[in-house]
Amino acid sequence: MRILHVQETLSPRCGGPATVLPQLAKAQAEAGIDVMVATTNADHPTGTYHDPGWGTLADGAVPVFYGSARLSRLQVSPSLAGYLRRAIPTFDVVHVHGLYRFPTTAAASLSRRHGVPYVIRPHGSLDPYLYEKSTSGTLRLKRLYERCFDLPNLNAASAIHYTADDERERASFLKLRSPSFVIPNGLAWENYRILPERGELRARCGVGDAPLVLFLGRLHIKKGLDLLVPAFDALRRVMPDARLVIAGPENDGYGQKVRGWVSERGLEKAVHFVGPLTANDVVRAYVDADVFALPSYTENFGMTVVEAMACALPVVISDQVNIHNEVSGAQAGLVTRCSVDDVVTALLAVLRDPGRRRVMGNAGRQLVRSRYSWPVIVNDLAREYAHIVTRSSIATRPPRTQRIRPPGNLQ
């Protein structure tokens, strides 16, 4: 079976989806699936991060076509559209990652035109919270784009891929007609099987053995940092030596707002902004922390939560993180409302009880290994792809054309 994944960008600064897709494609290639990726070379908020044309992922195992993106919010890419127009008829299934951008809209529309089965993965963009946070002008444009392009594509999709039951439930207000399935994100368990020694991030920040709370992710309005900073301030009144590390890229200047809240409370010496971390440093950060905090207002999955659990780190997350039921069911952390008082109470409960932290950490690692490792997810997706192809009307679908091959050294 030949699978084409399409996503607007793989730029590391664009959050979880850009991290997850390369890992998924690699795992599928290792399982013997013929997989390719088509994307743009757009970075965020402006610029590019890769030369246009062909490249590879996963040490050459997965060919990637990078279209040259015009620097607009829609990521318009004529070269990507040209490739998709030629290539889509050669695939069995097109897996579209995201909405409201030209690359993904074009992929779904061209799949419809050619009669090729396609799956759309919304990445949480159908959550009503995101509608409410849009400005009136942005909301009108979003609804117009949705009505003209994305709703027809969603309603004609072979399936919609949600990563959590809550994500599917929150999209129910749209009354989409397409079938759907729920398969979570995953991670490469071999990268977490043996964890590094504790201490590197603590030494870097000069926090010693102090109780350490970690936030890791994009500094974005939806992440609940406006709850976490005052909650940490209240926590310090009980645990004066506690420290907070905020790690991750900044979007749209939001980091300056967060720094302002820290400064207003006189927390500059207790809160450490360390910026984006490399993959190895991310694992070391989880290992050094005592609790991971993500009080998001909306989170369609929460990849950083899974990474933290893989590192045996207890988590405190809001009930708007869509895997909160799985976390609480496994007793791998505590789930709160989006409330400063609730976040403070949960952080204190975890930090005050080392034995409970160990139990939660072990439960989290077991949950990740059994539910969120790639072999399990790849097998589940392969079954869904097979069902989709079977449901498709083979009699009316044009014969698959000859494969458009990348340059010889990339095959």
Residue with tokens 């409960």: 349
Which CATH number belongs to the domain containing residue 10 in this structure?
A: 3.40.50.2000
Nearest to 312 by CA among 362, 348, 266, 273: 362
What's residue 133's pLDDT? Answer: 61
What's residue 395's pLDDT? Answer: 40
From first to last of its 411 residues, the chain has per-residue pLDDT tens of: 999 999 999 987 776 788 899 999 999 999 999 999 999 998 876 688 889 999 999 888 899 999 998 767 778 899 999 999 999 999 999 999 999 899 999 999 999 999 999 999 998 888 887 666 655 556 667 777 778 889 999 999 999 999 999 999 999 999 999 999 999 999 999 999 999 999 999 999 999 999 999 999 989 999 999 999 999 999 999 999 999 999 998 877 899 999 999 999 999 999 999 999 988 899 999 999 999 999 999 998 999 999 999 999 999 999 999 999 999 999 999 999 999 999 999 999 999 999 999 999 999 999 999 999 999 999 999 999 999 999 885 545 555 666 666 766 565
Total tally of structural domains belonging to the chain: 2
Verify that 39 and 118 share a domain, yes or no. Answer: yes
Helix (H, G, I), strand (E, B) or coil at 75: coil
Asked whether the CA dihedral 250, 252, 253, 254 is positive or negative, the reply is negative
By residue count, the chain amounts to 411
| Cβ neighbours for 370, distance < 8 A, ≥ 6 positions apart | 376
What's residue 253's pLDDT? Answer: 83
Domain extent, residue 269, equals: 193-370
Verify that 273 and 330 share a domain, yes or no. Answer: yes
What's residue 403's pLDDT? Answer: 64
What's residue 367's pLDDT? Answer: 97
Q: Give, for 38, the enclosing helix (H) or strand (E).
A: strand 34-40
Order across the sheet with 212-216: list the strands. 271-275, 243-247, 212-216, 291-294, 315-318, 333-336
What's residue 45's pLDDT? Answer: 64
Verify that 325 and 225 share a domain, yes or no. Answer: yes
| Cβ neighbours for 47, distance < 8 A, ≥ 6 positions apart | 71
CB-neighbour burial class of residue 61 (10 A; exposed 0-12, middle 13-18, buried 19+): middle
Asked whether the CA dihedral 45, 49, 54, 58 is positive or negative, the reply is negative
DSSP state of 337: -
Verify that 351 and 381 share a domain, yes or no. Answer: no
Verify that 221 and 304 share a domain, yes or no. Answer: yes
Q: What is the CA radius of gyration of the chain?
A: 22
Verify that 357 and 404 share a domain, yes or no. Answer: no
Quick check: 352 and 362 in contact, CB under 8 A?
Answer: no
Quick check: 333 and 313 in contact, CB under 8 A?
Answer: no
Verify that 348 and 202 share a domain, yes or no. Answer: yes
The Cα 285–Cα 298 span in angstroms is: 23
Verify that 302 and 387 share a domain, yes or no. Answer: no
Give the predicted TM-score (pTM) of the model.
0.85
What's residue 135's pLDDT? Answer: 53
Q: Give, for 243, the enclosing helix (H) or strand (E).
A: strand 243-247
Helix (H, G, I), strand (E, B) or coil at 246: strand
What's residue 124's pLDDT? Answer: 83
Verify that 258 and 317 share a domain, yes or no. Answer: yes
Q: Give, for 139, the enclosing helix (H) or strand (E).
A: helix 136-145
As beta bridge partners, residue 55 has 64
Verify that 91 and 38 share a domain, yes or no. Answer: yes
Quick check: 251 and 44 in contact, CB under 8 A?
Answer: yes
CB-neighbour burial class of residue 203 (10 A; exposed 0-12, middle 13-18, buried 19+): exposed
Residue with tokens 């209240």: 234
Verify that 109 and 13 share a domain, yes or no. Answer: yes
Quick check: 99 and 150 in contact, CB under 8 A?
Answer: yes
Verify that 15 and 39 share a domain, yes or no. Answer: yes
